[in-house]
Structure 1
Amino acid sequence: MTRALLIFLAALLVAAGCTAPRAEAQVSLLASWTGAEEATFTGILEEFRKKNTGIRVEYRGTRALGQVLKAEVAGGRPPDIAVLPGFGDLMPYIRQGQVRPVETAPAADNEQWRRLRQGGLAKQYAVPVKVDLKGLVFSRAPGPERAEELLAAGDWCLGLESGATSGWPGTDWVENLLLQRAGAEVYQRWVAGDLPWTDERVHQAWTDFGRVLGPRAPAALFTDFWDAGRAMFDDPPGCRREHQASFIATGYGGRPAPAPEYGEHFDFRPFPAFPGVAPASPFSADLAARFTDNPAATLLLQHLAGHTWPQPGPPELADRLRERLAGQDTLCFDGSDLMPVELRTMFYRAVLEYVADRTKLDELLRRLEQVRRTLQDDQDRRYSWVTVSCGR
């Protein structure tokens, strides 16, 4: 075929409106969601794709989120957006100038909620994507209503295995018990690194946690947190109540048919405050942050900021969870999610050691206190502790 003929054919294609395909914009996004949560999130991403034709989102879900992100940032190839479980993970990247500030964010209901969403920082660096209530008690029957009675009741479902983050369901217990017994002000001081781990109120929270462990505690070390509560529906029940976050309700549906139904087979309520303490609810928020200047990533972050992650379960359960989240007077970020990563990792390990041997509590708290002091005193580390963890 002659060069003249090639030119002629190209001219015909242009005249017919046929042009070479334009390169598709792409956004890379890293998060921890797999399974049912990944399916929900990919549905949110599909809505974005439909609104922004020509932008493709490359999603990767991994339980080793922290390790993967650290390696990719160090290698100079970070994802455009990463969804992190809290400010504790985000702070080092903010401090090193590797996270871009959020240019547009949803309007805050009030100043306190704005400061809470920003973790006390002057600028906002992330948007909450998925918010879950924590400190909920799921059970088949109502059971005791007072905090002391619940602690004494026993028969708690507990699973601590979660891969690289094993132990976190136990940290949720300690955090919530401190919040419900000592109050939001003490809790906030502890999360900010201003209250020693050896303080008697922190010690009491661990002791309270020890009361719910029961004789089956060692088995919790090898039980996946998703599976622990399913034993409530065995015949006879392997346990009778579970202290967990709102998302756990999706795990109950993973049992063989017929799956437990909300209202008929289980219900939930918040773990109550102790007498004389104002009620407060812990919550977790997965935070999406932008690590590159990719314009398409900015569009996706705006989409995530304006999207409400659906609450789990059937409509009746989802509506009640949404109402409870909106109706709280005081909300407090999950404490370990706000702590420096080194301290949080030690917290996870301390839970596992405590469950294995409850005589080690004082030793474990001294170790945690040493880590806190090291992080507070070493100015070269320049750790920015989250100063605001509770608000509304």
Structure 2
Amino acid sequence: MRIHRRGRVLAAVAGVGIATLALAGCTGDMEEGGGEADCSDYEEYGTFEDAAVTIGGTILDLEADRLVESWSDFAECTGIEIDYQGSSEFEAQIAVLAEGGNAPDIGIVPQPGLLARLAQGGWLIPASEAVEANVDEFWSEDWKTYGTYDGTFYAAPLMASIKGYIWYSPTEFEENGWEIPATLDDLSALSQEIADAGDHKPWCVGLESGEATGWPGTDWIEDYMLRLHGADVYDQWVTHGIPFNDPQVVEAFDAVGEYLKNDDMVNGGIGDVSTQISEAFQTAGLPILDGECSLHHQASFYETFWNPEGGDEVQVASDGDIFGFLLPPANAEDPLSVTGGGEFPVAFRDAEEVEAVRAYLSSDTWANNRVSLGGVISANTGVDPENASSELLVQSIEILQDPETTFRFDGSDLMPGAVGAASFWQGIVEWVGGADTQSVVNEIEASWPAS
């Protein structure tokens, strides 16, 4: 799934985080820290009196604090008071709030499928010319498409993530002479080698995420669909050009099942296969640090969870405590293909101050500001990769900016909500719990809306 699904991921953190910034007037004096804002970067957005914009989303805790900081100078220089409220229930509630006329001015939605649902309801305001101009300049056509519904452009991308990283301990790999796998077969062989050694299970996995439990498993399936069958088949799958119970989908499930349904492979440092369902995705990779497992499949945003309080006790680097390699291709000569996710700030109120905020959030200025604060990446081509907070995130931005990369958005985020945010998640839980592949994919196929 998919904040990812980064936004979805952060939505799953328990509790509600609230971060509010209310700064009026471009005085040049910051209330905190005594610094001065350089308003030259924000002149194009104008200045406002008694203007306020509310923003809602799934981003919580440390990430919410950083989000607020990313627009602090903009708010001061334009005079727009910005109030952000994050909630773990945002995705479930936003359509109800919109229907009742109680939605925030801007909603940061982590799924193109949810964006489409809100647009179908007639609740969204199309993006302004300034927002569209930024997207045309700084984003690929694919990313613009994700913010478009029925020919109308509603929202620019915000942050991004790359799915399919395999987190590992560089020290453990070096001590055992293990090589980074070049193919899926190599990864299977490495996993078997670790299992045969008998010291610990090779993989640690957590699928628990509140009402969204199961989504980390959908990421596995999506990664294998793209690598085993290519981008064209992946596109057919997420748009129902092929049925969900197509033999190619079954093949992807069965390949993933060699790990997730195998007592020899999971769940290192946690328990048996069944514990994947109860183990929170946020903590599932941590047994690597204690030598209780060796491999953990999770997106680039997982870097934040190694140091959840914002410290640097765990060094994320190729020569540090933890690092990641991308799930390898089926064949070594295959082009680089990755899945990923992102968020989209949609508007529920038509106002100049709302579009000024959205224009800023779609700019290279905002993207560089936010990336520099740490923990995230962006597919905005105006971002300097060196602004990222770690070696892995620098690499991730370079992958997103590389025109040779085949990028596909998280599949469940593109599917209708009845599938991508319901039967697919639930099917993963049933499948890991013991249901056979064919019955699970048949159930998911039966849930696909008729129109």
| Bigger mean CA deviation after superposition, 118-127 or 325-334 | 118-127
1:208 maps to which residue?
Answer: 255
1:36 and 2:83 are equivalent in the alignment:
no
Q: 1:231 to 1:27 in 2, by over 3 A?
A: same
1:351 and 2:428 are equivalent in the alignment:
yes
Q: Secondary structure at the match of 2:122?
A: coil
Partners of 1:249 and 1:186 lie apart in 2 by 30
Partners of 1:47 and 1:346 lie apart in 2 by 43
2:294 maps to which residue?
Answer: 240
Is the CA contact (8 Å cut-off) linking 1:101 and 1:123 kept in structure 2? yes
Deviation at 1:119, TM superposition (A): 5.0
Q: 1:211 to 1:114 in 2, by over 3 A?
A: closer
The answer for unaligned runs of 5 or more in structure 1 is 1-21, 379-392
Counterpart amino acid of 2:231? A
Q: How does 1:260-279 map to 2 (within 5 A)?
A: 260-263=315-318, 264-275=320-331, 277-279=334-336
1:223 to 279, 285, 289: 279
| Bigger mean CA deviation after superposition, 147-156 or 198-207 | 147-156
Is the CA contact (8 Å cut-off) linking 1:152 and 1:211 kept in structure 2? no
Is the CA contact (8 Å cut-off) linking 2:125 and 2:349 kept in structure 1? yes
Q: 1:218 to 1:82 in 2, by over 3 A?
A: same
Is the CA contact (8 Å cut-off) linking 1:179 and 1:280 kept in structure 2? yes
The answer for unaligned runs of 5 or more in structure 2 is 1-47, 174-178, 192-201, 268-272, 376-387
Is the CA contact (8 Å cut-off) linking 1:283 and 1:332 kept in structure 2? yes
1:370 and 2:396 are equivalent in the alignment:
no
Q: 1:150 to 1:315 in 2, by over 3 A?
A: closer
TM-score normalised by structure 1 residue count: 0.83
TM-score normalised by structure 2 residue count: 0.73
Q: 1:139 to 1:259 in 2, by over 3 A?
A: same
Q: 1:259 to 1:100 in 2, by over 3 A?
A: same
| Bigger mean CA deviation after superposition, 209-218 or 170-179 | 209-218
1:131 to 142, 160, 166: 160
Deviation track 1:89-128 (CA, whole Å, cap 9, x = no partner) reads 1111112221111112212468743654445742211111
Is the CA contact (8 Å cut-off) linking 1:136 and 1:245 kept in structure 2? yes
Partners of 1:153 and 1:183 lie apart in 2 by 24
1:298 maps to which residue?
Answer: 355
1:361 to 437, 441, 445: 437
If asked which structure has higher relative contact order (CA below 8 Å, sep 6+), I would say 1
Q: How does 1:90-239 map to 2 (within 5 A)?
A: 90-103=115-128, 104=130, 105=132, 106=134, 107-108=136-137, 112-113=141-142, 116-118=145-147, 121-140=150-169, 141=173, 142-154=179-191, 155-213=202-260, 214-215=262-263, 216=267, 217-234=273-290, 237-239=291-293
Q: How does 1:316-331 map to 2 (within 5 A)?
A: 316-327=391-402, 328-331=404-407
1:288 maps to which residue?
Answer: 345
1:73 and 2:98 are equivalent in the alignment:
yes
| Bigger mean CA deviation after superposition, 190-199 or 316-325 | 316-325
Between the aligned residues of both structures, percent identity stands at 24
Deviation track 1:353-383 (CA, whole Å, cap 9, x = no partner) reads 11111x43211111111112xx1x34xxxxx
Task: Decide which structure has the larger Cα Rg and report it.
Answer: 1
Is the CA contact (8 Å cut-off) linking 2:288 and 2:295 kept in structure 1? yes
Q: Secondary structure at the match of 1:183?
A: helix
2:107 to 47, 71, 82: 82
Partners of 2:360 and 2:215 lie apart in 1 by 30
1:250 maps to which residue?
Answer: 304
Partners of 1:114 and 1:32 lie apart in 2 by 20
Is the CA contact (8 Å cut-off) linking 1:183 and 1:278 kept in structure 2? no
The alignment of Structure 1 onto Structure 2 pairs a total of residues equal to 350
